[in-house]
Amino acid sequence: MILINYPPREQWAEILRRPALDTENLFDTVRSIIDRVRAEGDKAVLDYEARFDKVELASLAVTEEEMQEAVEAVGVELKAAIYLAQKNIETFHAAQRFTGKKVETMEGVTCWQKAVGIEKVGLYIPGGTAPLFSTVLMLAVPAKLAGCKEIVLCSPPGKDGKIHPAVLFAARVAGVSKIYKAGGVQAIAAMAYGTESIPKVYKIFGPGNQYVTAAKQLVSLRDVAIDMPAGPSEVEVLADETANPVFVAADLLSQAEHGADSQALLITTSEKLQKEVMYEVERQLGYLPRRDIAAKALENSKLIVVKDTEEALQMTNEYAPEHLIIQTTDYHQLAERVTNAGSVFLGPLSPESAGDYASGTNHTLPTNGYAKAYSGVSLDSFIRKITFQEILPQGMCAIGPAIEVMAANEQLDAHKNAVTVRLNSIRKQ
Amino acid sequence: MILINYPPREQWAEILRRPALDTENLFDTVRSIIDRVRAEGDKAVLDYEARFDKVELASLAVTEEEMQEAVEAVGVELKAAIYLAQKNIETFHAAQRFTGKKVETMEGVTCWQKAVGIEKVGLYIPGGTAPLFSTVLMLAVPAKLAGCKEIVLCSPPGKDGKIHPAVLFAARVAGVSKIYKAGGVQAIAAMAYGTESIPKVYKIFGPGNQYVTAAKQLVSLRDVAIDMPAGPSEVEVLADETANPVFVAADLLSQAEHGADSQALLITTSEKLQKEVMYEVERQLGYLPRRDIAAKALENSKLIVVKDTEEALQMTNEYAPEHLIIQTTDYHQLAERVTNAGSVFLGPLSPESAGDYASGTNHTLPTNGYAKAYSGVSLDSFIRKITFQEILPQGMCAIGPAIEVMAANEQLDAHKNAVTVRLNSIRKQ
């Protein structure tokens, strides 16, 4: 860990800099896989599964039999936890439902918005040693609530040719329509363009490694929307001298264990806390199964002391953390002034883990400073707001002449004429 | 115009296909301009202005003196029209303000969202013969309402080294903070990375040619958000035998005059209307100053007859038009069932021109079928929704054990531990 005390303002940018993401150098490799899947469909996906996931699949779709097997394989305790998380995620996201108001901007000119679910969405769930069933819930629960008609999920199978039972169980609970054994670039390409088995979708969601990220970027240039650009996960803890160093250390470590490139940052007004957290991180690290990964991430982890909470807040807004945990006496007041962050956790008993799993908020959030321009995934991510307008004679008389003047000044006479012919017809009556 | 009668379903995809957009082949050219602006700042922007816009500028910022000159140059009639449009756009977008509800997902677990304006946004307004002051209003008015602190506008100057007075006036009315004379790729690069004069922004909005589009795509891969992918503008009119062919023809022409690549489509249940519209388009075309452009666009324009409004609606949702005008007797019922469109105009007196200029809805909309996954620009485009959560002891006791189980099953023990240390501290009390 790197201790930094009272850095002057001109050093902030350097201190807060993230490692550069560069997916563009992968574009050529990734594009060739995408092109082949686009041209050859299932055959290409099956080939890539054999090559990259080392598994020979007879078919891509998960069968009802496999689903039943998975449902039986998941333990009763995990099932209960998944149901609890699903319910909370549903409760929070259901409260985000949008009802458009009809607005009469002038008499006889009525405009409104209506939320409509994206018809077909694709969810990508990475494989690897740990089954990310929590991400299944975070994406499929709001998709279902939004009214998406087709919710497609792709996840790479293990060496046994199967998707982890907990992932399948979570998908069933959350209402996923169709599940396919496909990972990496080939899965993204399949959902972007469709194959014989895998349906084409209109928007692709979900995390992944740099190849998956590059594939999502490439297909999003023209053909399909994506949730948001991705980078390594990150947490910032903003704490004063009243914070519990055991909690702060545990929060930093829970981020560090994600991967060697994870960012864990403490910004505090207390030199004492800085030291205590440092010792506590070392102590807790010894107990962690993933201590090698966490230790690697901690090498770049910074514990920064600033002069007051005002400065801490300014530095926070400049950093724009994906997760921000505020453990100060005045955390409510500070929270009001956070302008750049993905998800904010308030007070001593709100660890990031709560939002990662079960409190109800979404865990798909903007990393890499993207919180300055992007929101995390929410119900909004699965809908579009279509605008409607209806203009009555009185309304056309009110706004028509202004439209004629504006259109004429933009040298768009046909635009003007579309109003003129209507004004003439009203005047004739 | 191409007349198509009762096409079988299997031909729809081909009939509704848009011309392919390919900005990727411009990436090398565009990247070199971006890189130079990033490295050399103002000097590079000034050089490119000389090369591409044929104008030698002493400086990039529009001065208060130039602004005053512009304000005086705009006629009283146009000023009044701009004020009327600004007021309606403001009324409609102000009604979109978001107030997050606090949701107790379980007792002691409170989660909410808060809308915060994107601090710095950049608006790009293309140059050319016609000054697009309406687009200034469409982007700057919601930016101001959203609470964006810095609203930067770039637009290429004319040969006289000045931006069109109407653009400057609209910018002043709408509350733009800073205006710069810069166009094309160099303007996008300047706003993405900042130069000595032009501030770096977090999100870039606005239309442009294929180079501007390619530049927005490239900078959005890593460094800055953009409003949405762009393609040629398009309108679909969905009409039955009761529609006025004069209005329908005027609406198709108002799209066709945008550019040779504009898409204008009629889907109707009436062969009689199809013919009348065809004659009426030819007649009105003769009066248009931009008839050469419009005639070119009309070559690819399709007038399609289908068997009933049900089929018309299905075809519409498959096409996902940017603008949809419904001129049928039952337009209210049909509107309810539109699932894919950017902005919908209902009844005989609601031409696209109304939404383009002055009814209050936004005219920055998803083209190229993107309406299947994207919304048009709205107040949402200028904010982020940050999530917050506060967990109290009772809440931690309710969800903590579920989090521990889920984290353990995802093999993330530090995530589990961040909860365990808190549960232990609660139990000790």
Domains and CATH numbers, chain A: 24-99+126-224 (3.40.50.1980), 231-375 (3.40.50.1980), 392-428 (no CATH)
Predicted confidence (pLDDT) per residue in B252-283, tens digit: 999 999 988 899 999 999 999 999 999 999 99
Predicted confidence (pLDDT) per residue in B196-222, tens digit: 999 999 999 999 999 999 999 999 998
Beta bridge mates, A205? A123
Tell me if A257 and B414 make a contact (CB, 8 A cut-off): yes
pLDDT of A290 reads: 87
pLDDT of A361 reads: 98
A111 shares contact with chain B (CB less than 8 Å): yes
Tell me if A346 and B202 make a contact (CB, 8 A cut-off): no
Cα–Cα distance for residue pair B419/B429, rounded to 1 Å? 16
Predicted confidence (pLDDT) per residue in A238-251, tens digit: 999 999 999 999 99
List for chain A the helix, strand, coil content (%; round to 5): 50, 15, 35
Q: Identify all chain B residues contacting A103, using CB atoms and an 8 Å cutoff.
A: 91-92, 95, 360
Predicted confidence (pLDDT) per residue in A280-299, tens digit: 999 999 999 889 999 999 99
Cα–Cα distance for residue pair B304/B325, rounded to 1 Å? 15
pLDDT of B163 reads: 96
pLDDT of A230 reads: 86
User: Region B41-62: what's the mean pLDDT?
Assistant: 96
Tell me if B426 and A349 make a contact (CB, 8 A cut-off): yes
pLDDT of B428 reads: 86
Cα–Cα distance for residue pair B387/B113, rounded to 1 Å? 4
Cα–Cα distance for residue pair B406/A133, rounded to 1 Å? 9
| Confidence at A23, pLDDT banded by 50, 70, 90 | confident
What token pair was written down for A298? 């901690």
- Asked if A362 and A145 count as a contact pair (C-beta separation under 8 A), the reply is no
Residue B34 has pLDDT above 90, yes or no: yes
- Chain B (135-154) residues lying within 8 Å, Cβ to Cβ, of chain A: none
pLDDT of A394 reads: 97
CA distances from B75 to A245, A300, B70, B166 (A): 66, 60, 10, 9
Helix (H, G, I), strand (E, B) or coil at A250: helix
Predicted confidence (pLDDT) per residue in B112-161, tens digit: 999 999 999 999 999 877 899 999 999 999 999 999 999 999 999 999 99
Residue A418 has its nearest CB partner, among B254, B360, B366, at B254
pLDDT of B108 reads: 98
Q: Decide which of A21 and A119 is more confident.
A: A119
pLDDT of A156 reads: 97
pLDDT of B120 reads: 98
pLDDT of B186 reads: 98
Query: Taking Cα atoms as reference points, which of B349, B377, B347 lies closest to residue B363?
Result: B377
Please enumerate, by residue number, every residue of B annotated as part of a binding site for substrate: 233, 255, 258, 323, 356, 410, 415
Residue B182 has pLDDT above 90, yes or no: yes
CA distances from A55 to A43, A185, A227, A272 (A): 14, 16, 29, 53
Q: Identify all chain B residues contacting A224, using CB atoms and an 8 Å cutoff.
A: 373
Nearest CA in chain A to B76: A405
pLDDT of A11 reads: 97
Predicted confidence (pLDDT) per residue in A68-99, tens digit: 999 999 999 999 999 999 999 999 999 999 99
pLDDT of B155 reads: 98
A350 shares contact with chain B (CB less than 8 Å): yes
Cα–Cα distance for residue pair A290/A296, rounded to 1 Å? 10
Residue A129 has pLDDT above 80, yes or no: no
What token pair was written down for B414? 């530090």
Residue B22 has pLDDT above 80, yes or no: no
What token pair was written down for B326? 């419904």
Predicted confidence (pLDDT) per residue in B284-325, tens digit: 999 999 899 999 999 989 999 999 999 999 999 999 999 999
- What are the start-end ranges of the H helices in A271-412? 271-285, 291-298, 309-319, 331-336, 352-357, 393-409
Q: Identify all chain A residues contacting B78, using CB atoms and an 8 Å cutoff.
A: 405-406, 409
The backbone region for B154, taken as left when phi is positive above 0, alpha when psi lies in -120 to 50, beta otherwise, is: beta
Predicted confidence (pLDDT) per residue in A191-227, tens digit: 999 999 999 999 999 999 999 999 999 999 988 999 9
pLDDT of A68 reads: 97
- Indicate the burial class of A87 (C-beta count within 10 angstroms; 0-12, 13-18, 19 or more): middle
Cα angle value A363/A365/A368 (rounded, 5°): 140
User: Region A384-395: what's the mean pLDDT?
Assistant: 98
- Chain B (41-70) residues lying within 8 Å, Cβ to Cβ, of chain A: none
With pLDDT > 90 as the criterion, what percentage of chain B qualifies? 93
User: Region B86-114: what's the mean pLDDT?
Assistant: 97
Q: Identify all chain A residues contacting B417, using CB atoms and an 8 Å cutoff.
A: 250, 253-254, 284, 287-288
pLDDT of A22 reads: 77
pTM for the structure as a whole: 0.97
Tell me if A386 and B342 make a contact (CB, 8 A cut-off): yes
- What are the start-end ranges of the H helices in B194-243? 210-220
CA distances from A247 to A206, A253, B425 (A): 29, 10, 10
- What average pLDDT does chain B have? 96
pLDDT of B230 reads: 86
Predicted confidence (pLDDT) per residue in A246-276, tens digit: 999 999 999 999 988 899 999 999 999 999 9
pLDDT of A269 reads: 98
Tell me if B386 and A418 make a contact (CB, 8 A cut-off): no
User: Region A366-391: what's the mean pLDDT?
Assistant: 97
Residue A21 has pLDDT above 80, yes or no: no
Cα–Cα distance for residue pair B169/A317, rounded to 1 Å? 33
Tell me if A96 and B113 make a contact (CB, 8 A cut-off): yes
pLDDT of B129 reads: 72
pLDDT of A428 reads: 86
- Asked if B209 and B259 count as a contact pair (C-beta separation under 8 A), the reply is no
